[in-house]
């Protein structure tokens, strides 16, 4: 695998999940693989889990890690071809990407959606510019439209906690005061489309995700109906896609409560974090035995590690 910018880059999700679970048992078993190799993590947005788990994964593989916060420390980058750069942007990605590529073997990038321009966000300008100009391997640490490292960690977590029967998995929208990206939900849907599961997406009307991503996944507008007999309840807020980037509904009736969890088949509660307590989910649910958010965050390390391993193996 040269790049990891979408969950489908893995080729075989189930194989990667099982290999990640093996790696988790002895995380230092491939320590020699990354010797002499450097990964550069570029952040255009905030991060806790992605930043720390990806560094941890790289170190488990013996790699050197360089981290740069573009938002606060870097020159403001221009991405438009032919731009007359007489404004606030100091450096073009054409130079920046080529320069960075000389200092490392893999570049990992976090660059959230603008949520103001659907076409530009769909074009994935930041990730694709680095792919085009850096030439080295590129990893998506949450781009405008996807967060595949999170989706892979979620697949690992569900494998570890899965029931004996074919699981019912619900992706539920929940309210949030801010407009959030679609990336986490998109990659979750793409990952679920590769799984043997009864998968249902539930959200208020008007919150449909990109139909090119949801394809023929089941959508149920009645959250309580969706929760019935669920084995996993995976929760995430996103802003409207149709009315791009807008918050159309902050109805607290969509918060995940103990009462709703009682409708499920003793479901595990999952969320990628960070989560707004008592807005997205009631304390009683996230603090319950059924909440596996901390285990889910732990799997971010093994998600990143299997991705890095596959990329290092590609380079030989
Ligand atoms: C990001 C998102 O894409 O939804 C990152 C999730 C991994 N989340 C947020 O920006 C939440 C910010 C907040 O204020 O709650």
Tens of pLDDT, residues 117-159: 999 999 999 999 999 999 999 999 999 999 999 999 999 999 9
CA 297 from centre of chain: 11
Ligand 1 pocket mutation, candidates 237, 274, 293, criterion most atoms within 8 A of CB = 274
Q: Separation of 277 CA from ligand 1 center, angstroms?
A: 13
**What is the value of pTM for the model shown?**
0.98
For residue 281, list its beta bridge partners.
Answer: 256, 277
Residue 251 has pLDDT above 90, yes or no: no
Distance 29 CA to ligand 1 centre (A): 33
Rounded to whole angstroms, how far apart are CA atoms 248 and 231?
29
Interval 168-227: pLDDT, tens? 999 999 999 999 999 999 999 999 999 999 999 999 999 999 999 999 999 999 999 999
Cβ 231 vs Cβ 162: under 8 Å: yes
CA-180 nearest atom, ligand 1: 4
Task: Give the tens place of pLDDT for each residue, 11-68.
Answer: 999 999 999 999 999 999 999 999 999 999 999 999 999 999 999 999 999 999 999 9
pLDDT bin (cut points 50, 70, 90) of residue 316 is confident
Residues across the chain: 316
Q: What is the mean pLDDT of the chain?
A: 97
- According to the model, what pLDDT value does residue 72 have? 84
What pLDDT score does 249 carry?
A: 85
Which 3 state secondary structure label does DSSP give 199? strand
Q: Which of 173, 180, 247 to mutate to test the pocket of ligand 1 (most atoms within 8 A of CB)?
A: 180
* pLDDT tens digits, one per residue of 81-97: 999 999 999 999 999 99
Cα(274) to centroid(ligand 1), Å: 6
Centre of ligand 1 to C-alpha 180, Å, is: 6
Element (H, E) at 274: none
Q: What is the pLDDT of residue 71?
A: 79
Degrees to nearest 5, angle at CA 139 with 136 and 140: 140
Distance from C-alpha of 40 to C-alpha of 11, rounded to nearest angstrom? 24
Q: What pLDDT is attached to residue 77?
A: 97
Query: 41-63 burial string, b = 16+ CB within 10 Å, else e?
Result: bbbbeebebbbebbbbbbbbbbb
To 10 degrees, the CA torsion angle through 20, 17, 304, 36? 50
């Amino acid at each position: 695998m040269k790049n990891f910018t979408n969950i489908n880059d893995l080729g075989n999700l189930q194989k990667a999940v099982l290999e990640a679970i093996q790696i988790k048992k002895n995380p230092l078993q491939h320590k020699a693989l990354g010797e002499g190799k450097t990964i550069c993590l570029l952040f255009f947005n905030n991060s806790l889990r992605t930043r720390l788990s990806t560094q941890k994964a790289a170190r488990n593989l013996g790699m050197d890690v360089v981290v740069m916060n573009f938002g606060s420390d870097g020159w403001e980058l221009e991405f438009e071809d032919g731009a007359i750069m007489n404004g606030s942007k100091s450096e073009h990605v054409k130079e920046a990407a080529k320069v960075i590529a000389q200092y490392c073997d893999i570049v990992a990038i976090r660059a959230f959606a603008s949520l103001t321009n659907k076409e530009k966000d769909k074009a994935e300008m930041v990730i694709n510019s680095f792919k085009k100009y850096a030439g080295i391997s590129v990893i998506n640490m949450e781009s405008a439209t996807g967060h595949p490292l999170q989706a892979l960690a979620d697949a690992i977590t569900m494998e570890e906690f899965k029931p004996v029967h074919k699981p019912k998995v619900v992706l539920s929208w929940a309210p949030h005061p801010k407009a959030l990206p679609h990336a986490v939900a998109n990659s979750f849907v793409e990952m679920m489309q590769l799984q043997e599961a009864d998968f249902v997406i539930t959200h208020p009307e008007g919150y449909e995700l990109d139909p090119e991503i949801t394809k023929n996944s089941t959508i149920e507008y009645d959250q309580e109906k969706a929760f019935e007999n669920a084995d996993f309840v995976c929760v995430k807020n996103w802003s409207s896609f149709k009315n791009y980037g807008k918050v159309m509904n902050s109805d607290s009736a969509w918060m995940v409560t103990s009462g709703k969890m009682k409708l499920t088949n003793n479901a595990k509660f999952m969320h990628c974090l960070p989560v707004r307590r008592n807005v997205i989910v009631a304390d009683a649910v996230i603090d319950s035995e059924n909440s596996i958010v901390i285990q889910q965050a732990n799997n971010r390390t093994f998600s990143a590690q299997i991705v890095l391993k596959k990329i290092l193996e590609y380079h030989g």
